[in-house]
Amino acid sequence: MRVVELAAQIKADPSLAAGSLAGKSIAMIFAKQSTRTRISFEVGIHQLGAQALALSSGGGTGMQMGRGESIHDTAKVLSRYIDAIVIRTYGQAQVDGLAEHGSVPVINALTDLYHPCQGLADLLTIHEHCGGTKGKKLVWVGAGNNVAHTLLLAGPRAGMDVVCCVPESLPPNAFVVERARRDAAAAGTTIELSSDPVAAVAGANVIYADTWVSMGEEEEAKRLLQLLAPYQVNDALMAAAGEQARFMHCLPAHRNEEVTDSVMDGPQSVVFDQAENRLHAQKALLMLLLGARSWT
C-alpha cells in the first residue's frame, strides 16, 4: 500500500512530486489505443520533470519492435537510452520479456491478463470514498477480464473481500483465482465466485463494472451482450447493495449496456475521481521505482 499512501500525499500536495524526476526519460510503448493511460502518464511524467517518449509498436512510424525486432534486443537498446519503460499491449509475454532482458523498471500499463496501474488508482479511490480498504467488500459484476484479475489480486493485499460475479461461461483466469485465494487465506480475507448479481452485491462497499466488449472482441459483441444483460449495474442493483455502495468503472463506459446513465451519473458513482486517480497513483509509482522516494 506504499504506492497508495504516497499517491494520496501527492494528490493533497502536488508540490511534493514536482520536478522530482528531472533529467529522467521514460519510454511509453503503445500497442493498444489509449485515452486515460496515455494522457495520465504523459501529464504525470511532465509534472515530475521528466521526459516522456510516446512510442508505437505498430507499423508505419512505429518502433522496429512492430516490424519483427525481438523483445530481447528492444529491451537491451532501450535500457541504454531511458530510465523506465511503460508498455500497454496485448500479451503479458511482451511485458515479461522487457523486464527480463532490460535493466530499467518496466511498468505494465495494461495487458490482456492484468491492468495493475488501474488497480492502484482503484485502491486510492476506495481508500478515499470508503474510509480505507481494510474490511471492505468489493464486487466485480460482468465478465472475467484483466481488470477483474487485477482486483482479485489487489483485494487481499489491501485487506478486502472480493466477489467476482460473472456468467459461468465467462469466468476469470483459473490461475489468477487460485493465486488470489492463496493470498486471501494468508491475509484473512475471502475470494468468492458468483453468478447471481443481486445476491453478490448485498452489503457491498464497491460495485465495479467494465465494458462488456473489449478491444479485439467486436465480432463476439452480440453473444457477449446477450450473456451479460442480466449483469447490468442499474438502480435496482445499487438498491440491492445499499446506500453505502459506491459504483466504480475503469472506463471507457458503454452507457446503458453494462451501466445505466442514472448510476453512472448518480450520487453513488465515483468513476471520475477514479479516473483522476490514475494520474496520482502513476506519479507515485514512478517516484518509487526511480528512487525519488523510498519504499519504507
Question: Is 127 annotated in the active site?
Answer: no
Residue 251 annotated as binding?
yes
Residue 250 annotated as binding?
yes
Residue 35 annotated as binding?
yes
Determine which one of 38, 278, 280, 293 is catalytic: 278
Residue 79 annotated as binding?
no
Residue 38 annotated as binding?
no
CA distance 17 to 201: 38
Cell of 200: 453478490
Residue 88 annotated as binding?
yes
Residue 157 annotated as binding?
no
Buried b / exposed e over 181-210, threshold 16 CB at 10 Å, is: bebbeebebebebbbebeebbeebbbbbbb
Question: Is 118 annotated in the active site?
Answer: yes
CA distance 21 to 160: 33
CA distance 251 to 73: 34
Question: Is 164 annotated in the active site?
Answer: no
User: Closest Cα to residue 64, out of 76, 82, 46, 52?
Assistant: 76
Determine which one of 38, 115, 149, 280 is catalytic: 115
Determine which one of 88, 149, 246, 249 is catalytic: 88
SS3 call for 158: coil
CA distance 78 to 21: 18
Determine which one of 122, 249, 250, 268 is catalytic: 250
Question: Is 278 annotated in the active site?
Answer: yes
Residue 75 · residue 54 · CB < 8 Å: no
Residue 118 annotated as binding?
yes
User: Closest Cα to residue 133, out of 142, 120, 124?
Assistant: 124
Residue 116 annotated as binding?
yes
Question: Is 250 annotated in the active site?
Answer: yes
Amino acid at 224: L
Question: Is 246 annotated in the active site?
Answer: no
User: Closest Cα to residue 49, out of 75, 79, 82, 26?
Assistant: 26
Helix-strand-coil percent breakdown of the chain, rounded to 5?
45, 15, 35
Determine which one of 38, 83, 94, 118 is catalytic: 118
Determine which one of 38, 210, 232, 274 is catalytic: 210
Positions marked active-site: 88, 115, 118, 210, 250, 278
Binding residues for carbamoyl phosphate: 34-37, 64, 88, 115-118, 250-251, 278
Binding residues for L-ornithine: 146, 210, 214-215
